[in-house]
Chains A and B, each alone.
Chain A
């Protein structure tokens, strides 16, 4: 499997429900980031969690990081139709300076059903 691999590949839930996406990686990291990509657009940064952090919150987003399992999860609570997008995790694997070479997973396509 590739560095920064997400699961599930696709997720459909009803509006108002919570959505959980997972990401696994292989090598040691300094930080892990989650990005959102709407169809035909660029990536929007959501949240960054450093390797010495275990959990981080930002609005309706909650990210956890387990460096012993080399995995992270993104939880979106009280989902909205506007949350429909693809979500990618990215690590700094291979970077020499901390963040210059992001390695992305294949993403989770989230669909919120109104």
Chain B
């Protein structure tokens, strides 16, 4: 019973390159959330997606960042033209979302992708 799977676990990019982070939610989960964690800090909400829909992207920078959760395949967080300040751990979480009660349950987290920008 696999949990939330994120890959890669570590990603190194040079400034100006693109970073693509992948997240496969737990089986049966249709809601995906992305968070960013800077060293010694808590997680900061970025975006909430359901299949083929972005529900809330209020925590995501307006430029260079985008997210998708296609009908088939993992959710992708894409960072274009990376800068040093993008270095962080990016966590994905998922939850079932068939009813309002399920939305009030816990989110299940992956082990994150640690992005380093040279």
Contacts and interface: CB of A to CB of B under 8 A. Distances in A.
A and B part of one assembly: yes
A100 B108 contact: no
Contact of B100 (A42, A45, A98): A98
Contact of B44 (A45, A48, A92, A104): A104
Contact of A30 (B31, B104, B111): B104
A88 interface: yes
Contacts of B91: 42-43
Contacts of A41: 111-112
Nearest to A41: B111
A57 interface: no
A101 B45 contact: yes
B103 interface: yes
Interface residues of B, number: 30
Interface of A: 4, 30-31, 33, 35, 40-45, 48, 50, 88, 90, 92, 94, 96-107
Interface of B: 4, 6, 31, 33, 35, 40-45, 48, 55-56, 58-59, 91, 93, 95, 100, 103-112
Nearest to B92: A42
Contact of B109 (A42, A96, A97, A99): A42
Given A42-B109, A43-B91, A105-B42, 17 more contacts: A42-B110, A43-B43, A45-B107, A45-B108, A48-B105, A50-B104, A90-B43, A94-B58, A98-B100, A98-B104, A99-B103, A100-B56, A101-B58, A102-B107, A104-B35, A106-B42, A107-B41
A42 B45 contact: no
